Chains A and B, each alone.
Chain A
Amino acid sequence: MKETYRKASDVELIRRVKSGDTRAFDELMRRYAGSIYRLVYSLARNHMDADDLSQETFIRAYRAIGRYDEQYRFYTWLHRIAVNLCINHLKRKRRVRLVPLPGSEIGGEWQDIADPKSGAEVSELQRDLDRALCKLPVDQRAVIVLRVKEEMSYSEISDVLKIPVGTVMSRLSRARSRLRRLLKEYLPV
């Protein structure tokens, strides 16, 4: 039975979800939770928010599954929900500054201790890169993440963030100059 779900395509699973099959949605979550978490983490920059926002993305997707249009990829649709959720959350949060507790930014008790790269093994470069990305304003961070990590085109970014392509260009250019200044010791002079 489990195998049937594993082998089913996204479209097939979505049709099952629409007819009330919750296990099909569980399989979709299993497939995409990691990617959505990675995307949300890149934007939110801490585990607590990434955990909450990635859960919220799936909750919204489940509620809106009836409106899902099969001509788009499921991940694209999910991705869009996650980005908008994140941007709104970060803009709201800008007014309330939270001080992260020590250790809370690296996944707390869920950290994979078997992985030597996690936790304390984070390099100096990774720490500085994280700090630099945290220093970017939300709008600039969003375009750099969508362009560089998610490899979206300017018009796709403009579509997701509902901003003109010209604004995407200028935000990207500003974000790059700022990161270039903040990380100059790691980049060619």
Chain B
Amino acid sequence: MKESCKETRRLLSQYVDGELEFSLAARVEAHLKVCPDCRRELAALKALGQMVKEKDKPPKLADEYWDWHRSQVWKRIKTVRRERQDGPHRQGFFWFRLAAVTGGVAVVLIAAVAGWRLLRVNPQKAKAPKVVDNLAAVLVSEQCDKPPEVLRMPVLPCVSIDDTTTVLLRALVETDSSVSEIKVERSSGIELLDSIAVNNIQKAKFRPGIQKGRLVRCWLTVPQKFRSE
């Protein structure tokens, strides 16, 4: 297709509608005079418009339909009006909303007062575990108000020994719950078992000790018992 044809085709829809500005319309007309293909295209577009306008028709409906149509509109208008009058929207809804808002405010106030009183009665309890004191002396578990606790301890493997054997270990539980040092307090006499016990402690989880409401570094004695197979 020639360049001038392409331009004309692009403008043809607007030309058919009479919405093309004068200078462009003149160019299109000049091209149409010399190009039979574009003239046919123009005829096709005009015929298409005519077809849509004249042949696309909705079904013809009986006169009774239009009476029914109007009655349906009134029915729907009245239904909506009744819902608005009777429903919760007008009368009950205001009081319902007021009750809900008042209730919500009351609950928030009660919660705030209760929380404040609780903090006032036992302020230390509320704050305690937040304060960390790394510089405090290392304590042993017996000195603590609340000695460190074992939260999770992996199960020791069964070993081929004659009798049940216990390794007594001491773990230094830091304020961030980590274990910084492990000492063998009483060996099992078998080096391998001692090292298994130490490894096991490293995998365990602890809660740090608390002294006078502060987290403290604390030694904790942890027995590790090996059972025979």
Given contacts A33-B66, A55-B72, A188-B40, contact A112 B61 (CB under 8 A): yes
Q: Among the listed A54, A58, A126, A188, which residue makes an inter-chain contact with B47, where contact means beta carbons less than 8 Å apart?
A: A188
Q: Which residue of chain A has the shortest Cβ distance to B50 in the bound complex? A: A148
Interface size range of chain A in the complex: 35 or more
Interface residues of A in 149-175 (CB under 8 A from B): 149, 153-154, 169, 172-173
Q: Give the residues in chain B near A115, CB-CB below 8 Å.
A: 60
Q: Give the residues in chain B near A106, CB-CB below 8 Å.
A: 59
Say yes or no for B126: interface residue by CB 8 A criterion. no
Interface residues of B in 18-71 (CB under 8 A from A): 19, 40, 43-45, 47-49, 51-53, 55-66, 68-70
Q: Give the residues in chain A near B51, CB-CB below 8 Å.
A: 125, 129, 183, 186-187
Interface size of B in residues (CB-CB distance below 8 Å):
36
Given contacts A42-B58, A111-B59, contact A179 B48 (CB under 8 A): yes
Q: Give the residues in chain A near B90, CB-CB below 8 Å.
A: none
Say yes or no for B17: interface residue by CB 8 A criterion. yes
Main secondary structure of the interface of A (DSSP, over half): helix
Q: Do the beta carbons of A187 and B44 come within 8 Å of each other?
A: yes
Say yes or no for A110: interface residue by CB 8 A criterion. yes
Q: Give the residues in chain B near A51, CB-CB below 8 Å.
A: 69
Q: Give the residues in chain A near B68, CB-CB below 8 Å.
A: 110
Interface residues of A in 66-124 (CB under 8 A from B): 106-107, 110-115, 117-119, 123
A62 to B77, CA, bound (A): 8
Say yes or no for A50: interface residue by CB 8 A criterion. yes
Q: Among the listed B14, B40, B49, B62, which residue makes an inter-chain contact with A112, where contact means beta carbons less than 8 Å apart?
A: B62
A79 to B70, CA, bound (A): 17
B218 to chain A, nearest CB (A): 64
Q: Do the beta carbons of B48 and A183 come within 8 Å of each other?
A: yes
A50 to B70, CA, bound (A): 14
Q: Do the beta carbons of B17 and A55 come within 8 Å of each other?
A: no
Q: Do the beta carbons of B56 and A133 come within 8 Å of each other?
A: yes
Say yes or no for B1: interface residue by CB 8 A criterion. no
Say yes or no for A5: interface residue by CB 8 A criterion. no
Q: Do the beta carbons of A111 and B62 come within 8 Å of each other?
A: yes
Q: Do the beta carbons of B77 and A189 come within 8 Å of each other?
A: no
Q: Do the beta carbons of A107 and B49 come within 8 Å of each other?
A: no
Say yes or no for A135: interface residue by CB 8 A criterion. no
Q: Among the listed B52, B62, B73, B74, which residue makes an inter-chain contact with A144, where contact means beta carbons less than 8 Å apart?
A: B52
Q: Give the residues in chain A near B63, CB-CB below 8 Å.
A: 112
Q: Give the residues in chain A near B80, CB-CB below 8 Å.
A: 59
Q: Do the beta carbons of A47 and B77 come within 8 Å of each other?
A: no
A78 to B17, CA, bound (A): 25
A92 to B69, CA, bound (A): 24
Given contacts A29-B70, A110-B64, contact A147 B17 (CB under 8 A): yes
Q: Do the beta carbons of A55 and B73 come within 8 Å of each other?
A: yes
B98 to chain A, nearest CB (A): 27
Q: Give the residues in chain A near B52, CB-CB below 8 Å.
A: 129, 133, 144, 148-149, 179
Q: Do the beta carbons of B44 and A154 come within 8 Å of each other?
A: no
Interface centre among B40, B61, B73 (most CB of A within 10 A): B61
Say yes or no for B10: interface residue by CB 8 A criterion. yes
A29 to B56, CA, bound (A): 24
Q: Do the beta carbons of B48 and A126 come within 8 Å of each other?
A: no
Given contacts A133-B56, A179-B52, contact A107 B69 (CB under 8 A): no
Say yes or no for B134: interface residue by CB 8 A criterion. no
Say yes or no for A2: interface residue by CB 8 A criterion. no
Q: Which residue of chain B has the shortest Cβ distance to A47 in the bound complex? A: B59
Q: Among the listed A37, A38, A59, A118, which residue makes an inter-chain contact with B76, where contact means beta carbons less than 8 Å apart?
A: A59
Q: Give the residues in chain A near B17, CB-CB below 8 Å.
A: 147, 154, 172
- 9 residue pairs of the A-B complex, CB under 8 angstroms, read A51-B69, A107-B65, A114-B62, A115-B60, A133-B56, A180-B48, A186-B47, A188-B43, A189-B40
